[in-house]
Amino acid sequence: MRSFIVTCAVAKRKPGVDRVRSDRVRSIGAGLSIYGIFLALCLAVAAAGSIANSYGLAAWYPALVKPSFNPPNWLFAPVWMALYVMIAVAGARLALSPTSEKEPAISLYFAQLGLNAAWSWVFFYGQAIGAAAVVIGVLWFGILATIWLAWTKDRMASWLLIPYLVWVSFAAVLNIAIWRLNG
């Protein structure tokens, strides 16, 4: 009975269907790999920033005069983790976009990630508040340019980067206020 069912099932298969299913499974696997790579990259940026932060958070940062709108320290980690997930998804979507000429947007994406990591090293490790304000300003323009260039490639990727731009805007204002209060 079992061989009869298998024979009927094989007889009803259309040519090329198994290949299409197999290609679809491979493409889903490749897509998940891209998402994993971008998530790992964003987590590496987070880890690099965390290492730099540990140098300044011990004694230097608590001793700084901060503006009244400075959030509590415990808020930064959960906000950044949520943002890094959105940044990773945006990058993966952009990389997987079937659109041609996405290289400028992807290049800017990687550049702004590098600036993101650099800011923590300049601000916390280097304790150079003014230089960090310059880095975060360039980072802000890098994020904005990435959103703008990605808009025609994958709008969801652009939308996912907007909360990041908003948070970096707030962080830039905070950075400048700390610089003014302690400069």
Q: What is the pLDDT of residues 51-76, one digit of tens each?
A: 999 988 888 999 999 999 999 989 99
14 alpha carbon, distance to own chain's centre: 43
- Give the pLDDT mean for 119-145: 97
The average pLDDT across 32-50 equals 95
Q: pLDDT band at residue 5, thresholds of 50, 70 and 90?
A: very low
Predicted TM-score of the model (pTM)? 0.82
Q: What is the pLDDT of residue 30?
A: 66
How high is the pLDDT of residue 31?
A: 73
| CA distance linking residue 101 with residue 104, whole number of Å | 7
**In the predicted structure, residue 11 carries a pLDDT above the cut 60:** no
In this prediction, residue 163 has a pLDDT band, given cuts at 50, 70 and 90, of very high
Q: Give yes or no for residue 28 having a pLDDT over 70.
A: no
pLDDT computed for residue 20 by the predictor: 43
Does position 162 have pLDDT exceeding 50, yes or no?
yes
Tokens of 144: 């904005």
CA dihedral 110, 114, 119, 125 (to 10 degrees): 160
Q: How far apart are CA 68 and CA 72, in angstroms?
A: 11
Which CATH number does the domain 17-182 belong to among 1.20.1260.100, 3.40.50.2000, 2.30.30.100, 1.10.3720.10?
Answer: 1.20.1260.100
Structure tokens at 11: 């007889």
Predicted confidence at residue 85, as pLDDT, reads: 98
* Dihedral over alpha carbons 157, 159, 164, 166 (to 10 degrees): 160
> What is the pLDDT confidence band of residue 19, given thresholds at 50, 70 and 90?
very low
